[in-house]
Amino acid sequence: MKILVSVKRVVDFNVKVRVKPDGTGVDLGNVKMAMNPFCEIAVEEGVRLKEQGIADEVVVVSIGPKACQEQIRTAMALGADRGIQIETDQELDSLAVAKLLAKVVEEEQPGLVILGKQSIDSDNNQTGQMLGALTGMPQGTFASEVNLVEGKVEVTREVDGGLQTLSLNLPAIVTTDLRLNEPRYASLPNFMKAKRKPLDTKSPADFGVDISPRLKTLKVEPPAERQAGIIVGSVDELVEKLKNEAKVI
Amino acid sequence: MKREAMEFDVVIVGAGPAGLSAAIRLMQQAQEKAQELMVCVVEKGSEVGAHTLSGAVLEPRALNELFPDWKDRGAPLHTPVSQDEIYLFTGPEDAKKIPNGLVPKTMHNDGNFVVSVGNLCRWLAEQAETLGVEIFPGFAAAEILFDADGAVKGIATGDMGVGEDGQHKDSYMPGMELHAKYTVFAEGCRGHLGKQLMERFELDKDADPQHYGIGIKELWDIDPAKHQPGLVIHGGGWPLDKETNGGSFLYHAENNQVVLGLIVDLSYSNPYVSPFEEMQRMKHHPVFKQYLEGGKRVSYGARAIAKGGFNALPKMHFPGGLLVGCDAGTLNFAKIKGTHTAMKSGIVSAETIFFAIDQGGLDLAAYAEAFEASWAYDELYRSRNFGPAMHKFGTLMGGAFNYVDQNWFKGKLPFTLRDRTSDYAQLKPAAESNKIDYPKPDGVISFDKLSSVFLSSTNHEEDQPCHLKLKNPSIPLERNLPLFDEPAQRYCPAGVYEVVDEESGGKRFQINAQNCLHCKTCDIKDPSQNITWVAPEGAGGPNYPNM
Ligand SMILES: Cc1cc2nc3c(=O)[nH]c(=O)nc-3n(C[C@H](O)[C@H](O)[C@H](O)COP(=O)(O)OP(=O)(O)OC[C@H]3O[C@@H](n4cnc5c(N)ncnc54)[C@H](O)[C@@H]3O)c2cc1C
Ligand code: SF4
């Protein structure tokens, strides 16, 4: 079975993001980028299924500027076999990504598609579901456990109030939650090997997909800064402040 | 699990200006002679540039030699220095601007560029990779490997996935041995492997002790109306007192950004000095504040600087390898510039090593002669009296001495001032020192330590062994606290060291290692020389942008 994993290049989770002074978006100049952590979990799951002998190939795809080849190479260092980059410098809506992935699915015919449940930059949580709708494949989202049994995939999902287990026919779509696995470290020799693994570059036009945005960002604002607290001298002062300044009692 | 090993021709530790220049020059020679050469660079930062912190005004001399066509290759040198200003600060509101005619020659910056050395390294790394160098960010060299004869035969990267208790976690991955014909150590100031090499091979036996400063730096977006690309400001005096040497800087870079910082010599004697708070109050001086008002702080960081220069330069070669750049101490403190000399020492090392490989494996003693013949060495020689003069006469008279030395005698005065006391041994007891009452930060121009560290995007895997090793865990509370009021609480620019009151009434020494900025100051300044900085798990540490 072939597994297709999608990965996104996002701002590194350690970086404290800044809004551009003109409020048009987040400032990405000189900022460290990395693979979206949920996508890393998706790669790890694909690689584990291959190591268990259930999958025979893990293909990783990323859509974005040339630099996202770095994330594809990292995925290959973690164990993916080959990469596909769909190159565009345009900002992409979830729907455009899902449409492109649907085309890749058509071409590659994977038995399982694994995606992160969301990316930590836009937090949309839509692409996997949209891909399900576009391809008609069954979907198991927010997976915390994935088991392949007799031609089906059992997906344990983290839902409000507990865990739900679904059994899906293959081919299927899985989106990963945080607890699915703990990704490994890529080793140094594997980084070297990854440089020699095949990486195909395509463009959205190759797939005939229209990626023009359907959403418009009006304004991006940082959350209000928390005011510094004060230490009150006595209970009386506290009561007085709550009454007259905060006006909550 | 046994460690695997890989073989290279040359392994380089550290992707700073020195290490990357060495890598590039090696491959250029290999290409010229159509030879195969396997060169790899390991870098402890999560990416090249993530741990780089500099000023910086760059003198492009070494870059010109490495890539005469650097402009066409898109090197990030966009802002030529347009104006130099030097101030002597005499108080929180007062300053004397030094007339141009009285400025030592070494402080003129015509032909230089305001750059981000972080971005310069990112660009150098791209060039190196194009030439075929293997660069591995996220891998720290943790151990030096020796062959049976005691020569260096490479390094080992650190293990990953080890818990705080030393136990292997599920994600455990043993380090790798990287073997090489020659190993180049380019870890920058106070490299932790460099320090071991100095001891083992007695490299600094005939040199004066190395002297250091701590540089604390911030990057700001400022009001475009106040931005003057290429304006370079240096200052001395206030906020530091007469017993504390150092200097401040503010450079106007590109994109409406300025960088500013304060370098405090670690030879200071008052244990109550807090370089961090000196830097915060410095920003309120009108000369700095005028640019910062209405702006926003983008990033913060700190790094030690090796400023001993010529007199402290150790032997740089040993069996199996070389020490280059600030790992050896090639910075020219009279110019407060080390990037160009670090690069030059890297270039010369590559030429020595390539020749040695070509000749079937010579020892590297030729490096000493080759480096001594270079302009970098000549520069360090001419500036040899600068630091000691400052230490001996203070900023004002030291400055006058340096003017005469550099402008009238071109650095060739027939005598050499020496400075033979190590920085850690300079502290006076707290009882003999005055407490310093630093103003509270206003949250607009000045800030506290924690919100500052936050802007360095520093992170370390929490569950790992502490990378700040105490030789004797009782010293902080039993010696340093009573004698010096444990200065680590103040010299550490990241608030890593705290003396905490226990509920029981006792005290506890706490190390918040995950905040560490890898500046190395504790390893240098601890008066008991009790703290050893070792490399944490790869990729840990700051994630600096264009610092
Ligand atoms: C505040 C400040 C201002 C400065 N201003 C200027 C200026 O205006 N002009 C100028 O020319 N110079 C300036 N300098 C000096 C300049 O930054 C240094 O001289 C220069 O960076 C030295 O280059 P290097 O390659 O030797 O070391 P570094 O730049 O320190 O690079 C060393 C690299 O090695 C890595 N490393 C270290 N140990 C290990 C390990 N064990 N394993 C793997 N990787 C490791 C580090 O992460 C780092 O990337 C300034 C320095 C400071 C601190
Ligand atoms: S712990 Fe040491 S190396 Fe780390 S930031 Fe503090 S002084 Fe610098």
Distance from CA of B267 to the nearest CA of A (A): 34
Query: Which chain A residues have a beta carbon less than 8 Å from that of B545?
Result: 29-32
Closest Cβ–Cβ partner in B47, B176, B457 for A16: B457
Q: At which residue do the structure tokens 């304060």 appear?
A: B262
Lowest mean pLDDT across A29-33, B198-202, B411-415: B411-415
Question: How is residue B250 written in tokens?
Answer: 């503010």
Q: Do B126 and B185 belong together in one domain? A: yes
Domain spans, chain A: 2-218
Choose between A22 and B260: higher pLDDT.
B260
Cβ–Cβ of A188/B139 closer than 8 Å?
A: yes
Residue B519 catalytic? Answer: yes
Provide the pLDDT confidence category of residue B408 given band limits of 50, 70 and 90: low
Q: Does A148 touch chain B (CB under 8 A)?
A: no
Query: Which chain B residues have a beta carbon less than 8 Å from that of A32?
Result: 46-47, 50, 457, 543, 545
Q: Do B339 and B389 belong together in one domain? A: no
Residue B512 domain-assigned (yes or no): no
Residue A101 and residue A110: Cα distance in Å, rounded? 11
Summarised one tens digit per residue, pLDDT across range A158-212 is 999 899 999 999 999 999 999 999 999 999 999 999 999 999 999 999 999 999 9
Q: Do B257 and B293 belong together in one domain? A: yes
Average pLDDT score over chain A: 94
Dihedral sign, CA of A178, A184, A188, A190?
Answer: negative
Last residue of a domain, one of B259, B279, B306: B306
β-pairing verdict for B497-501 and B507-511: antiparallel
Residue B516 catalytic? Answer: yes
* Residue A37 burial (CB count, 10 A): 17
Provide the pLDDT confidence category of residue A118 given band limits of 50, 70 and 90: very high
Residue B110 and residue B82: Cα distance in Å, rounded? 8
Residue B292 domain-assigned (yes or no): yes
Contacts for B68 with CB less than 8 Å, ≥ 6 apart: none
Cα A222 to Cα A19, A21, A25, A82, distances in angstroms: 6, 10, 10, 39
Provide the pLDDT confidence category of residue B389 given band limits of 50, 70 and 90: confident
CA nearest to B183, candidates B79, B338, B80, B318: B318
H, E, C per residue of A144-191? EEEEEECCEEEEEEEECCEEEEEEEECCEEEEECCCCCCCCCCCHHHH
Query: Which chain B residues have a beta carbon less than 8 Å from that of A185?
Result: 160-161, 171, 173
Q: Where are the beta strands (DSSP E) in B14-94?
A: 39-43, 57-58, 79-80, 83-89
Q: Do B270 and B315 belong together in one domain? A: no
Sheet holding B79-80, edge to edge: B57-58, B113-114, B79-80
Residue B446 domain-assigned (yes or no): no
Residue B522 catalytic? Answer: yes
Q: Where are the beta strands (DSSP E) in chain A?
A: 2-6, 9-11, 33-35, 57-64, 82-87, 112-116, 139-149, 152-159, 162-169, 172-176, 199-202
| Four-CA torsion B40, B41, B44, B50, nearest 10 degrees | -130
Burial grade of B15 (CB within 10 A; 0-12, 13-18, 19 or more) = buried
Contacts for B47 with CB less than 8 Å, ≥ 6 apart: A32, B122, B137, B138, B543
Last residue of a domain, one of B271, B306, B341: B306
- What's chain A's Rg over C-alpha atoms? 22
Q: Does A229 touch chain B (CB under 8 A)?
A: no
Provide the pLDDT confidence category of residue B100 given band limits of 50, 70 and 90: confident
H, E, C per residue of B151-172? CEEEEEECCEEECCCCCEEEEE
Question: By alpha-carbon position, which residue is closest to atom 15 of ligand 1?
Answer: B338
Provide the pLDDT confidence category of residue B413 given band limits of 50, 70 and 90: low
Q: Do B139 and B267 belong together in one domain? A: no
CA nearest to B218, candidates B277, B280, B275: B280
How many residues does the structure list for chain B?
Answer: 547
Residue B40 catalytic? Answer: no
Lowest mean pLDDT across A17-26, B46-55, B74-83, B221-230: A17-26
For ligand 1, say whether the CB of B191 is within 6 Å of any of its atoms: yes
Best residue among B116, B124, B187, B331 to mutate for probing ligand 1, ranked by most atoms within 8 Å of CB: B187
Provide the pLDDT confidence category of residue B412 given band limits of 50, 70 and 90: low
Residue B105's pLDDT is 79
Provide the pLDDT confidence category of residue B1 given band limits of 50, 70 and 90: low
Provide the pLDDT confidence category of residue B409 given band limits of 50, 70 and 90: low
Residue B497 domain-assigned (yes or no): no
Summarised one tens digit per residue, pLDDT across range A228-245 is 677 888 888 888 888 888
- CB-based contact B368:B316 (threshold 8 Å): yes
CA nearest to A199, candidates A91, A38, A68: A68
Q: At which residue do the structure tokens 């032997």 appear?
A: B315
- CB-based contact A165:A156 (threshold 8 Å): yes
Question: How is residue B193 written in tokens?
Answer: 């492997």
Provide the pLDDT confidence category of residue B250 given band limits of 50, 70 and 90: very high
Residues B87-100 have a mean pLDDT of 90
Residue B466 catalytic? Answer: no
Q: Do B287 and B148 belong together in one domain? A: no
Question: By alpha-carbon position, which residue is closest to atom 34 of ligand 1?
Answer: B14
User: Which domain, by its residues, includes B202?
Assistant: 5-68+118-209+310-382
CA nearest to B49, candidates B146, B138, B155: B138
Q: Does A192 touch chain B (CB under 8 A)?
A: yes
Reduced DSSP (H G I as helix, E B as strand, rest coil) percent helix, strand, coil of chain A, to 5: 30, 25, 45
Residues B442-447 have a mean pLDDT of 97
Residues B434-446 have a mean pLDDT of 96
Q: Do B397 and B409 belong together in one domain? A: yes
Q: What is the CATH classification number for the domain harbouring B286?
A: 3.30.9.90
CA nearest to B264, candidates B213, B333, B190, B209: B213
Fold observed for domain A2-218? Rossmann fold (3.40.50)
Distance of CA B203 to the CA centre of its chain: 20
Instruction: Report which bound ligand comes closest to the CA of B50.
Output: 1
Burial grade of A79 (CB within 10 A; 0-12, 13-18, 19 or more) = buried
Provide the pLDDT confidence category of residue B400 given band limits of 50, 70 and 90: low
Instruction: Report which bound ligand comes closest to the CA of B523.
Output: 2
pLDDT > 90? residue B533? yes
Cβ–Cβ of A185/B443 closer than 8 Å?
A: no
Lowest mean pLDDT across A120-134, B60-74, B101-115, B386-400: B386-400
Residue B399's pLDDT is 65
Full DSSP string of B194-247: HHHHHHHHTTTTTSPPP-EEEEEEEEEE--GGG--TTEEEEEEETTS-TT--EE
- Interface ipTM: 0.88
Residues B467-483 have a mean pLDDT of 97
Q: Do B145 and B64 belong together in one domain? A: yes
Residue B315 domain-assigned (yes or no): yes
Distance from CA of B455 to the nearest CA of A (A): 7
pLDDT > 90? residue B391? no
Q: Where are the beta strands (DSSP E) in A110-149?
A: 112-116, 139-149
Contacts for B229 with CB less than 8 Å, ≥ 6 apart: B79, B82, B114, B252, B253, B254
Question: How is residue B152 written in tokens?
Answer: 């260096």
Cβ–Cβ of A29/B255 closer than 8 Å?
A: yes
Provide the pLDDT confidence category of residue B401 given band limits of 50, 70 and 90: low
The widest CA-to-CA distance across chain A, in whole angstroms, is 72
Q: Do B158 and B63 belong together in one domain? A: yes
Residue A46 and residue A44: Cα distance in Å, rounded? 5
Residue A100 and residue A94: Cα distance in Å, rounded? 10
Last residue of a domain, one of B306, B325, B354: B306
Average pLDDT score over chain B: 94
Reduced DSSP (H G I as helix, E B as strand, rest coil) percent helix, strand, coil of chain B, to 5: 30, 25, 45
- Ligand 2 atom at minimum distance from B519 CA: 8
DSSP designation for B23: H
- How many domains does chain B contain in total? 3
Q: Do B278 and B130 belong together in one domain? A: no
Residue B492 catalytic? Answer: yes
Residue A240's pLDDT is 87
- CB-based contact A211:A101 (threshold 8 Å): no
Distance, first Cα to last Cα, chain B: 39
Cα B79 to Cα B122, B231, B285, distances in angstroms: 17, 9, 25
Summarised one tens digit per residue, pLDDT across range B307-334 is 999 999 999 999 999 999 999 999 998 8
Contacts for A221 with CB less than 8 Å, ≥ 6 apart: A19, A23
Residue B193 domain-assigned (yes or no): yes
Residue A92 and residue B395: Cα distance in Å, rounded? 57
Question: How is residue B149 written in tokens?
Answer: 């004869």
Q: Do B396 and B409 belong together in one domain? A: yes
